[in-house]
């Protein structure tokens, strides 16, 4: 039992290591998921591009896009205070950008022109966020999240929401 004024067994560095290793594991799981989702399987290639897509658009959002965008938005509202935090924000922005590239691959593509334009807008906005985090620039990160919001809303309005406000996807 802890006595008043005594130090807990969870010291601040130990807690940071625990949180950091959990964040690292989450990042590696997402990176592995991207790799698995983008590796073409030679025996089962799609005729047009040679890429076999496994996850649909909703699954990409649930697995990669939504968690990464949430992390970027969180970093913009509560900016990191150390190098590890900025690196984590940059990594999440890169996951968002690369997973947005996956929207432009194979069977996920809706109609070429608009879908590609909107997907590229999200890639570009996420790249701005990654650059801002790399520079440790909280104001630029906030501006980048504004661009991410616009890219998401534009695409959702046309392809997902049917005129509804942005929110949880219809099932």
Residue 123 and residue 165: Cα distance in Å, rounded?
A: 22
Residue 78 and residue 29: Cα distance in Å, rounded?
A: 24
Contact 77, 139 (CB under 8 A): no
User: Where does 39-65 have alpha helices with state H?
Assistant: 57-60
Per the structure block, which two tokens stand in for 20?
Answer: 């950091």
Q: Which of helix, strand or coil describes residue 1?
A: coil
**SS3 annotation, 102-148:** HCCCHHHCCCHHHHHHHHHHHHHHHHHHHHHHHCCCHHHHHHHHHHH
DSSP 75: H
Residue 67, CA distances (Å) to 9, 60, 61, 74 in order? 31, 10, 8, 10
CATH superfamily assigned to domain 13-38+52-160: Cytochrome c/b562 (1.20.120.10)
Per the structure block, which two tokens stand in for 156?
Answer: 């959702």
Contact 126, 150 (CB under 8 A): no
The domain ranges of the chain are 13-38+52-160
Contact 96, 129 (CB under 8 A): yes
pLDDT in tens, the chain (171 residues): 445 554 444 455 555 555 566 666 666 666 555 655 554 433 333 445 677 889 999 999 999 999 999 999 999 999 999 999 999 999 999 999 999 999 999 888 888 789 999 999 999 999 999 999 999 999 999 999 999 999 999 998 888 866 555 555 444
First to last CA, the chain: 49
């Amino acid at each position: 039992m802890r006595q008043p004024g005594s130090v807990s067994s969870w010291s601040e560095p130990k807690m940071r290591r625990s949180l950091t290793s959990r964040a690292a594991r989450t990042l590696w799981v997402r990176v592995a998921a991207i790799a698995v989702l983008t590796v073409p399987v030679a025996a089962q290639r799609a005729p047009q591009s040679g890429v076999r897509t496994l996850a649909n658009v909703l699954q990409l959002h649930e697995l990669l896009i939504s968690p990464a965008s949430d992390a970027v938005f969180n970093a913009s509202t509560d900016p990191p205070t150390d190098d590890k935090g900025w690196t984590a924000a940059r990594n999440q922005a890169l996951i968002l950008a690369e997973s947005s590239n996956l929207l432009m691959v194979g069977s996920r593509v809706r109609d070429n022109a608009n879908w590609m334009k909107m997907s590229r807008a999200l890639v570009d906005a996420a790249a701005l966020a990654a650059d801002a985090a790399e520079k440790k620039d909280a104001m630029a990160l906030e501006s980048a999240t504004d661009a991410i919001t616009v890219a998401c809303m534009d695409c959702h309005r046309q392809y997902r929401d049917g005129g509804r406000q942005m929110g949880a996807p219809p099932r």
